[in-house]
Amino acid sequence: MKTLLILVVIICTPQQNMSDEIPNADKTGKIQVVRNDMIIAVDALNKVVHEMKRRLEMCQKNKNLFQLEKSSQNVSTLYQQPILKLYKDCTSIYTANFVSNGIYPLWLTSAYQFIHVFCNMKVKSNITKLRSWAIIQRRINGDINFHRGWVDYVNGFGNPNEEHWMGLEIIERLTQQRITYKPYGRPTTDFPRLRIDLEDWDGFTAFVEYSKFLLLPDSKNYKFSTIGTVFGNPDNHFFSREISSTGFSTFDHKTNTFLNARCPAPDNGGWWLTSCSRSNLNGKYATSTERMSINNMYWKLWFIVNPNYAALKHVSLMVQF
């Protein structure tokens, strides 16, 4: 910086009229010397400016790296090493000793591609006692608009690290990850478990687990189906049967034509809706002062958990193999 100031002074200092002080015989030589000094000074100044630009670029790069590191705090350490194995579900990642919550790459066999999934490695299944769940839907603060059309619900939206919907096509393919093909006979499929966690604004919580969960393909409108054991808190048969075994619907793609004016279906978000809907966890995000409503995130029998019937605050759907 001192060199830069000196050079600026040399260049910018006003020069006296040479014709008043320099004899005619010496004018040419003296002028040439001054010109050479100025050329040297300008060249040195250019070098200083170039060095300053280089250092500023380095500072900017360091700043960008810091921001990238900060934004990646919830990304799994699996990304920081070479991929030596293709993991197809969060359970196989957990057994490989990656036991922290975070976003992990899963290899989607039927689509021959990676997907990025938030794996919850802390919640234990009440059916299998295993940890490791792949989150396919999460509502935590209302930042993401869930009132969307069919295409968005098929493809997915949001951020796996925050609020998001994985997408019907990916969810359907994910349920088919463990298909075993035999030389003879039909292939067998090990279907995943499904867990739904619910919490309202009063702090009351509940969950439901299904031992087998699958979606039918697009041609069947991604019909929801559960098979086998159901476990939940509260231990109430009707509470755990709040998702209808029907096709998926959105405002622009309604798959259930049965109508009943006495119990209209919700008309916001996409869900496995019927006219007398019993749930809609993709409905509008409610405020802390609201009560359970068919127009918001909805679970009809929530009064079994909380007689105050407070609106839902946090919701998640997770699958586990």
- Asked if residues 193 and 177 have their Cβ atoms less than 8 Å apart, the reply is no
Structure confidence by residue, pLDDT tens digits, 162-196: 999 999 999 999 998 887 766 776 777 788 999 99
Task: Please tell me the class of the 121-320 domain.
Answer: alpha beta
DSSP 17: -
| Type of residue at 97 | N
Structure confidence by residue, pLDDT tens digits, 230-281: 888 887 778 888 888 889 999 899 886 554 556 666 678 899 987 777 899 9
Structure confidence by residue, pLDDT tens digits, 1-13: 444 444 333 334 4
Label residue 67 by pLDDT band (50, 70, 90): very low
- Asked if residues 292 and 310 have their Cβ atoms less than 8 Å apart, the reply is yes
Closest CA to 177 of 92, 271, 94: 92
The mean pLDDT value of the chain amounts to 80
Mean local confidence (pLDDT), 43-70: 58
| Pairing relationship of beta strands 164-165 and 102-108 according to DSSP bridges | unpaired
Inter-helix orientation angle 27-71/2-12, to 10°: 140
Q: What is the pLDDT of residue 220?
A: 93
Token duo for residue 3: 């060199």
Lowest mean pLDDT among 40-54, 172-186, 248-262, 299-313: 40-54
- Asked if residues 168 and 153 have their Cβ atoms less than 8 Å apart, the reply is yes
DSSP 20: H
Q: What is the pLDDT of residue 56?
A: 67
The 3-state DSSP composition of the chain as helix, strand, coil percent (nearest 5) reads 30, 25, 45
- Asked if residues 241 and 225 have their Cβ atoms less than 8 Å apart, the reply is no
Which residue did the predictor score with more confidence, 145 or 70? 145
Structure confidence by residue, pLDDT tens digits, 95-134: 999 999 999 999 998 888 999 999 999 999 998 899 999 9
Extents of the domains making up the chain:
2-15+28-71, 121-320
Q: Where is 237: in which H helix or E strand?
A: none
- Asked if residues 133 and 193 have their Cβ atoms less than 8 Å apart, the reply is no
Q: Tokens 């998926």 map to which residue?
A: 248
**Those residues with Cβ within 8 angstroms of residue 306's Cβ, 6 or more apart along the chain or in another chain:** 200, 202, 204
